[in-house]
């Protein structure tokens, strides 16, 4: 068992070394041209994106490359450890589920991402031909019942809450990140979207950040209703600045992920570290490509995690 984790740790460190990194991502954005940015991805871990013809295709290729790396790393893990990459990659599965609902509601066909054996409800959910069938597939899986209405916004919030709950339970080194992200999700739902929290969402988040937060009417009040060690996640001057807290959290995930990568080989912490820095890197590259395509240079969001 220890030998399996040691081999996985060596592979995790090797995959993490192939990430693009903050400086290279900022250089992508500085090209101020999507074709120029894509040319810089040739020969990198995101080589597939270099042959894309538009932004959506390029960003999808980045996500596909990230998913492939997670699958490769999962292949080195003992069977008992597969739940960790499966929980991490569920964030990609979540986007596939949302895209499939959009398609069922008349939107364009969803772009596929092969999750291999790391899917939770996927690919079965992708074969559903109606919302009741899709809901049934989710309800029978670790995603749990997302609710009766085929509301894309509500589905997004509920799936995100379910993902954060699962990440907190399955991956102890990531529990603090999941709790912080859950606090920020609660703030978005209550104070930005001004939405009445769906009972399914409330159930998931209460498992992560505790009860009592649904009655908050301001950012300060919400922070006081959270466990004291989570209040830092909402330290912004106003709710309109919540994106700054979310960006800061990504930077913290990467920073702490790098520390986990330096853990003793044979520990699952090394694998969690690699998965976290790879996830942030993929997010950063997709943001850089968006900035390049708009000719705007690095955005404030990208600069915050450069």
So where are the chain's domains?
2-304
Angle at 70 between CA 65 and CA 104, to 5 degrees: 65
CA atoms within 13 A on the CB side of 31: 19
Q: How far apart are CA 108 and CA 127, in angstroms?
A: 15
pLDDT of the residue at 299: 72
DSSP, residue by residue, 219-282: HHHHHHHS-GGGGGGG-SSSGGGHHHHHHHHHHHHHHHHHHHHTSPTTSHHHHHHHHHHHHHHH
pTM of the shown model: 0.94
**Mean pLDDT for each 10-residue chunk of the chain (306 residues)?**
82 96 94 95 97 97 98 94 96 98 95 96 96 97 94 96 97 96 98 93 97 95 95 95 95 97 93 98 97 83 62
Radius of gyration for the alpha carbons in the chain, expressed in angstroms and rounded: 19
Residue 148 CB neighbour total at 10 angstroms = 10
């Amino acid at each position: 068992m220890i030998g399996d984790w040691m081999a996985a740790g060596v592979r995790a460190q090797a995959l993490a070394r192939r990430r693009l990194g903050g400086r290279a991502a900022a250089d992508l954005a500085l090209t101020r041209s999507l074709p120029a940015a894509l040319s810089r991805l040739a020969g990198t871990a995101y080589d597939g994106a270099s042959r894309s013809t538009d932004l959506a295709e390029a960003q999808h290729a980045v996500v596909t490359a990230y998913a492939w790396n997670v699958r490769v790393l999962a292949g080195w893990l003992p069977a008992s450890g597969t739940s960790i990459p499966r929980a991490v990659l569920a964030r990609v599965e979540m986007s596939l589920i949302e895209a499939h609902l959009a398609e069922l509601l008349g939107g364009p066909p969803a772009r596929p991402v092969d999750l291999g054996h790391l899917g939770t409800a996927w690919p079965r959910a992708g074969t559903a031909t109606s919302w009741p069938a899709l809901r049934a597939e989710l309800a029978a899986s670790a995603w749990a019942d997302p609710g009766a209405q085929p509301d894309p916004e509500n589905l997004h919030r509920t799936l995100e809450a379910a993902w954060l709950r699962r990440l907190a339970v399955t991956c102890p080194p990531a529990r603090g990140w999941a709790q912080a992200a859950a606090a920020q999700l609660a703030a978005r739902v209550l104070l930005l979207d001004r939405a009445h929290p769906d009972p399914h969402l409330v159930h998931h988040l209460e498992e992560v950040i505790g009860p009592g937060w649904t009655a908050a009417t301001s950012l300060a009040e919400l922070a006081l209703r959270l466990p004291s060690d989570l209040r830092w996640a909402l330290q912004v001057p106003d709710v309109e600045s919540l994106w700054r807290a979310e960006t800061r959290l990504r930077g913290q995930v990467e920073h702490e992920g790098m520390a986990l990568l330096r853990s003793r080989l044979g520990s699952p912490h090394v694998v969690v570290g690699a998965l976290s820095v790879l996830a942030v890197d993929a997010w950063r590259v997709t943001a850089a490509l968006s900035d390049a395509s708009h000719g705007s240079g690095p955005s404030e969001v990208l600069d915050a995690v450069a």
